[in-house]
Amino acid sequence: MATLRIGVLGCAGRMGQALVRAVGAAPDADIGGGTEMEGSQWLGRDVGEPAGVGTTGVAITDDAEALFKACDVVLDFTVPAALAGHAKLAGKTGTAYVVGTTGSSLAEDRAVLTAAKRAAIVRSANMSVGVNLLIALTRRAAAALSLNWDAEVLEMHHRHKVDAPSGTAKALGHAIAEARDQVHDKVAVTSREGVTGERRRGEIGYATLRGGMVVGDHTVIFASERERIELTHRAASRDIFAEGAVAAARWVRGKAPGLYGMADVLGLKD
C-alpha cells in the first residue's frame, strides 16, 4: 500500500509536535503538511522544526483546506472553536479525519456528525491504547456491579488544560452510565461544595485536579460499604496519544464515511 500522507492541524502546539514526531517515526507514513493559526511565528517554517525532528521539506501554512486536499488523513487535536470548521472541510473534501479535541459544544459535535456522512472520522477523547482498555474494563465492571456500588471518576491534568472534567473522564462516566442503563446527564455530579446532603444512589461523581505538568491520570472507583475497586491509568508521555492517533489514521484510510471510535480501531467493541 502507498505511503500514508498525514496532515497535522496545529502542528506547533504541544500535542501537534508529538503528532509530527509520531508520524515521522512511522515507517509507512509521511508528513503531508501542517498548519498553524494566521499570524503564528511558525508560518513558512518547516513542519519538523517545532517538533525538533529536522527538515521534512514541507512548510507550515494557515490554509487548512489545502491541508485536507493534500493528505490521506488529517489529525486534529486543536481547540473546540476550530472543530466545526475543520469538520466541514473533512466533509467537503472527503478526507479521512482523526479528532482528539475535547471540550466541544453540542453545535460542534453536530458538525462532526454531519461531516461523517461524507468522510470517515475517528473521534475519541483519548487515543491511548491503555485508556481505551480502561474504558472497556470500566464498562464491564459497571455492568457486573449493582447500583449499591458508588461510582466516582477522578482525573488530574497539567495546569494548562482548559476543560474540566476531561474528555476521558466523561468517556469513563458515560461507559458506567451505559452499562447501568442510566441517562448519564441525569446522574452525573461534576462538583460538590458546601452542605450537599447524602450521596444519592446511582450517582456518577467526578473530581478534577489540575497542577504542574501532569500528562493525564484517570481513576475509576467503585465503592460499596465493605470493599472498593479502583481502576487506574497514568500517562507518562503525550507520545502515547500521538502513537494512537497514527494507528487510527492507518486504520481509517479507505473506510466508508461514518463516525468511528478507538474501540473500532483497537477491536474493543463488545
Which residues are identified as catalytic?
Answer: 157, 161
SS (H, E, C) the chain: CCCEEEEEECCCCHHHHHHHHHHHHCCCEEEEEEECCCCCCCCCCECHHHHCCCCCCCEEECCHHHHHHHCCEEEECCCHHHHHHHHHHHHHHCCEEEECCCCCCHHHHHHHHHHCCCCEEEECCCCCHHHHHHHHHHHHHHHHCCCCCEEEEEEEECCCCCCCCCHHHHHHHHHHHHHCCCCHHHHEECCCCCCCCCCCCCCEEEEEEECCCCCEEEEEEEECCCCEEEEEEEECCCHHHHHHHHHHHHHHCCCCCEEECHHHHHCCCC
- Enumerate residues 6+ apart whose C-beta is below 8 A from 146: none
